[in-house]
Amino acid sequence: MLRFTALIIGCFALVASVSAQEVVISDFPLGVGGSVDQKIFEPYLPQIKAIADSLNSSPIARAIVTGGADGQRYRSSHDAKNPSLALGRAHILRSLLMEQFGVDSTQILLRTEEAKEIGPQYRFVSLRLEPELGKEEADINNRLDLLMARMDTLEARPPVEKHFTEVKEVPMMEEAEESDLGISFGAGFSSSPFGGMPIVTAAFTYKRVVYVEGLVGHTWWGPDFAWFDDEGEPLILSTRRRQIGGHAIIYPFEDLPLGFVGGWLRVEEVAQDPYEYTKLSEGLVLGVRGTPVPHLSVTAAYNPSRHRIVTEPSSTSETDQFLLYLTAHVGIGGAR
């Protein structure tokens, strides 16, 4: 590290000793920017080489190459306007430094000057050594050296006894239990006093122990209903079946997927034209529900319903019946 620091300081001192080096090549031909006869540089080669040697010996030094153009207005037959001429002249000298004297391109900065006056002294290219441009880089290197020296000092110190304070790991909070309340949706098939029909259900649940369920069903098929009016004329009505009801289900056993069902059910057979009841059944529902496999339930219920048909003004007592429901369902929340 000390040898490297000494090299940086030596390079900086060398550049400072030649900080005044500068060469100006003027009297460039009119309208010549990117190409010129190399003979124009021959009288100045010793000065250019001296500056190039300074650049090669000090990587922190920089050179400024400035291209100049005068105020001469050029005809369309010439190859460039003034700004391009000035930059082209600077590039000529930059290429010479790099190709003939091996100067690194990062050490060469380009500038241009465009004068309003007309004359050969304004058609020029200059080369000036500027070691001041490398001071910032040298300062960074010096700071790095200082930091490395401090690190070496720290490594040379005797080890310091370290004290550790035991920190008990705080256990993470267990995952919050699911909400006691949930919802359930189902779809399936049920029997009815007038035949089977598809159904859909939705229920609010509490810990999956108590269910409050709504049920609707409807068919897209139905039998024709035939009867005679007061004048003895036959009437044929196309009908559809539908039902609506509500259940409360309780699963009292934690390890047994069996629940008790209670509710009310209304089943209708409806003529499509005119849109009137042809048959009606409504009454209590009492039964049991089992869930033999997840997401599938079977309900068997007793339905002491009252029936009415189109020719009767009110419902009449009928034979008690049993209903059967097969439902696939999915629940959200309401963990047991």
The CATH number assigned to the domain holding 6 equals: 3.30.1330.60
Q: Is residue 220 located within the same domain as residue 311?
A: yes
Rounded to whole angstroms, the Cα distance separating 264 from 256 reads: 25
The answer to whether residue 234 scores a pLDDT higher than 50 is: yes
Q: What is the pLDDT of residue 224?
A: 83
Is 158 contained in some domain? no
15-19, 121-125, 299-303: the lowest-pLDDT one = 15-19
Measured CA distances, 210 to 2, 233, 255 (Å): 84, 53, 15
Rounded to whole angstroms, the Cα distance separating 179 from 335 reads: 7
Is 98 contained in some domain? yes
Number of domains in the chain: 2
Is 209 contained in some domain? yes
169-189: burial string, b at 16+ Cβ within 10 Å, e else? eeeeeeeeeeeeebebebebe
Q: Is residue 133 located within the same domain as residue 205?
A: no
Q: What is the pLDDT of residue 21?
A: 80
Confidence band, pLDDT 50/70/90 cuts, at residue 245: very high
Q: Which of 87, 114, 139 is the last residue of a domain?
A: 139
Q: pLDDT tens for residues 94-126?
A: 999 999 999 999 999 999 988 888 888 888 999
Q: Is residue 185 located within the same domain as residue 95?
A: no
**Which residues span the domain enclosing 31?**
2-139
Q: Is residue 115 located within the same domain as residue 205?
A: no
Rounded to whole angstroms, the Cα distance separating 80 from 88 reads: 9
- Nearest 5°: the CA angle 114, 117, 118 is 100
Q: pLDDT tens for residues 267-285?
A: 999 988 778 888 899 999 9
Q: What is the pLDDT of residue 316?
A: 77
Is 232 contained in some domain? yes
Q: What is the pLDDT of residue 7?
A: 44
Q: What is the pLDDT of residue 135?
A: 58
Q: Which one is predicted more confidently, 107 or 227?
A: 107
- H or E segment and range at residue 37: none
In this structure, the strands spanning 62-69 and 108-114 are parallel
Confidence band, pLDDT 50/70/90 cuts, at residue 35: low
Q: pLDDT tens for residues 306-326?
A: 888 887 877 877 767 899 999
Bridge partners (DSSP) of residue 181 are 206
Q: Is residue 185 located within the same domain as residue 329?
A: yes
CA dihedral 73, 75, 78, 80 (to 10 degrees): 50
